[in-house]
Amino acid sequence: MNISRDRSAVVISLFLKGLYLMCFALPLVVPHWYSPLIILVAICWIIIVNQKQLITAFRNYLILKLIALLILMNLVGLLYSENVYFGIDYVVTQLSLLILPAILLSSEEVLTGKSASYLMVSFVAGVILVSLTSLAFISYHLWDPKNLQSNLIVADIHIVQIHPAFLSLYISFCILFLIDQYFPLQTNNRGKLGWVLFSIVVLGVYLIWLNSRAGLLSFFAAMLFYIFNRFKDRGRFVGLAALGSIVLLVLIIPFSRERFVKAPLAVINNEIESSTDPNVYPLITRIKIYSCNVDLLKGKEFFYGYGTGDFRDALQACYQSRKYSSLLLTGHDSHNEYFAELHRHGIIGLSLLLAILITPFYIGLKFKSPLLCSFLILFGLIALFEDVFSAQKGITFFALFCPLLILYAKANVVRQPD
């Protein structure tokens, strides 16, 4: 009996260590390394969790049922797809969206609120490390802001294959978690106070240097929601003042003001001096992409889409018909997860996607967890600018942290706003 308990303790320890490693490694490793980590965690999970716990998790959590329906819809979408190979590859990518939440939500007895908190601390450590590592790979032109920004982005793309918008998403979530976990700071613990402030400063500075329009806009919206729902009175005033200072800083910094104010106004007023300007080109590109996104939905495909395997090909055909040679050459996706789901499965697929985002948001409101709600605001807004469920970095992030935050919210339901 004792031997059996010892073995169970070892497997549980391996299971938790595998999750810690996955959270820490998510921002640091290239996407194709995720599969071995998921397999390691799944093997330990099979040993420690019985079938009844999995069935209970599906019965208790609507989000698992919705995700399973989305996977099923992707499989059905293969039946009316010509490009079946791409469709199968997409379905395989989507499997982690079901596997990780099923593992985590059926392991509720093992994953306490404290464990969930430690897992998110591991992720914060990984994000800080990738930020500091990227700084080590920039060129010697340290004091040229535009050069620094471009080299940071190049470093991230080449080192860990992560888009600036996704890294901004990671950083924003880390800042929110640190505030939720450690604020208001207790001055009697100087060691913890120092590390928390250091982490927030590093993450905040790097978020601004990345200068992702999608990332910063999502951060401001999520932070605004968090401040109003987490704090009150003096705490809310301090939070709003700090957020206002960050907005002011972004608007004052020359390279940031160029990207957030001058470039959008130039595009709106049609005063574009150069289409190769890195601040202007993405806006022009997105206008072209979104025009094709809308054009693809003017027929019967609005109701049932183009199929799991053909939605990308339909978009490329639009680029070709409109002679968007640069978009065709680079193979740009829809840059909007909601449009992408409309292209795959029409209005039914979009409704299911929205339900997957709204369901945990309702859980966050129910358990008074502004962190969970802010996470979904971050993710939902980034989805307006990127195909988050088509990228391994995005889908793994959601599949890992949405269930963790649900468990974290349930464990901290008794805590009241400060």
| Residue 418 placed within a domain | no
Q: What is the pLDDT of residues 232-290, one digit of tens each?
A: 989 899 999 999 999 998 888 887 888 888 888 888 888 776 667 778 888 899 999 99
Highest mean pLDDT among 27-41, 159-173, 343-357: 343-357
- Please state which of the ranges 130-139, 159-168, 292-301, 371-380 shows the lowest mean pLDDT: 130-139
Q: Which domain holds residue 159?
A: 2-411
Highest mean pLDDT among 30-34, 46-50, 164-168: 164-168
Residues 6+ apart with CB under 8 A from 109: 53
Whole-number Cα distances in Å, 326 to 65, 284, 303, 330: 40, 12, 30, 6
Using 50, 70 and 90 to split pLDDT, how confident is the model at 406? very high
pTM of the model: 0.92
Number of structural domains (the chain) is 1
| Residue 389 placed within a domain | yes
| Residue 281 placed within a domain | yes
Residues 6+ apart with CB under 8 A from 45: 15, 103, 106, 107
Residue range 189-198: mean pLDDT, rounded: 80
Task: Please say whether the beta carbons of 44 and 14 come within 8 A.
Answer: yes
Residue range 133-152: mean pLDDT, rounded: 58
| Residue 417 placed within a domain | no
Place of tokens 């080299």: 151
CA 331 to chain centre: 22
Place of tokens 């802010």: 374
User: Percentage of the chain surpassing pLDDT 70?
Assistant: 89
Q: Which two tokens stand for residue 216?
A: 């910063």
Q: Is 331 a residue whose pLDDT tops 90? A: no
**How many C-beta atoms lie closer than 10 Å to residue 50's C-beta?**
11
| Measured distance CA(97)–CA(34) in Å, rounded | 12
| Measured distance CA(240)–CA(322) in Å, rounded | 46
Q: What is the pLDDT of residues 65-117, one digit of tens each?
A: 999 999 999 999 999 889 999 999 899 888 889 999 999 999 888 888 788 99
pLDDT of residue 363: 96
Residue range 20-35: mean pLDDT, rounded: 87
Q: What is the largest CA-CA distance in the chain?
A: 77
| Residue 400 placed within a domain | yes
Q: What is the mean pLDDT of the chain?
A: 86
